[in-house]
Structure 1
Amino acid sequence: MRSTILRGAVAAGAAVVSGYQHLLPVAEAAVARAVRAFLQAATPEIGFLGEEDGVHSTGEMQWVLDAIDGTANFVRGIPLCAVSLGLLHGDDAVLGVIEAPFLGNRYAAARGDGATVDGKPIRVSDTSRLSDAVVAIGDYAVGPDAAARNRSRLSLTARLASECG
């Protein structure tokens, strides 16, 4: 199962790069269709939920896909975007992979096996003091009601700015 998700993510990453190189405005939908087709062929017994196109099939296990996580960055040519693919068993996440094709990185995790970046084990930081931590917040709202929707994020950002890097 882990090899299936990795192959799917690699294919999706290649499709993202291809979409960017050709400046396809429908890149996210194309990537979602390609990954869904790959996963349905490789694991027909597993359901599928895509951020862009919703539920295609359900079951005890379900693939969950964000074909271009960081779409705003993608369309602006900022390389901080990825394909995010996970596998749920009921409500429990059991597998996940984030393919960052422009950065050349693949993050993967499996319940009970830990996490890796590019096949090498990683772990959470042992930093215990907020003043030693680096924290980033993004994804602010724009458009109508942006000020109201951003109020809590901006408040949190202001509080963190004096406490951490």
Structure 2
Amino acid sequence: MRMRRCRHCHRIPPAGGRRGCLGKAEVGVPLAEKLNGVHFNGKAYGNIGENGNPQWVNEVQDALGNDGMNIAVDLGGLDAKAGWGPREIFEAAARRGSGPGGWRGNAGTDWEMRQIMLKSFRNPNLADRITWYLNGSNVTSAMRGVLE
């Protein structure tokens, strides 16, 4: 039996499906490598798709809407005030990502956080598919209930 490779990174996806990794490139790319996942960053993901969006936008939307795909989110590198925990960092980014212009008018990672929040309203399974990190450290327990 021939293993199917990821059509984007050409790696064989982990058992049980691909893992999409979201977050700023400086923390998201190393996390994707650690988890054998895919981070939608780089030249290939800047190509414009048939719908007029960059490929990274389409990939994020697809990953969040695909109940067969687990998501890892690293909140590291997002704007934060001293003393903020992961929940406050996420919520502030999601607020910033709601500005006019969508992904065009906002920082890409802030827009991703907004998409997580919006998609969770329509898909109650999304929260269970996300593992949260802060600079590579698992903070999922601190994020319980943030999407409910």
TM-score normalized by the length of structure 2 = 0.26
Higher strand share: 1
Relative contact order, CA 8 A, sep 6+: which one is greater?
Answer: 2
More helix by share: 2
Which of structures 1 and 2 has the bigger CA Rg? Answer: 1
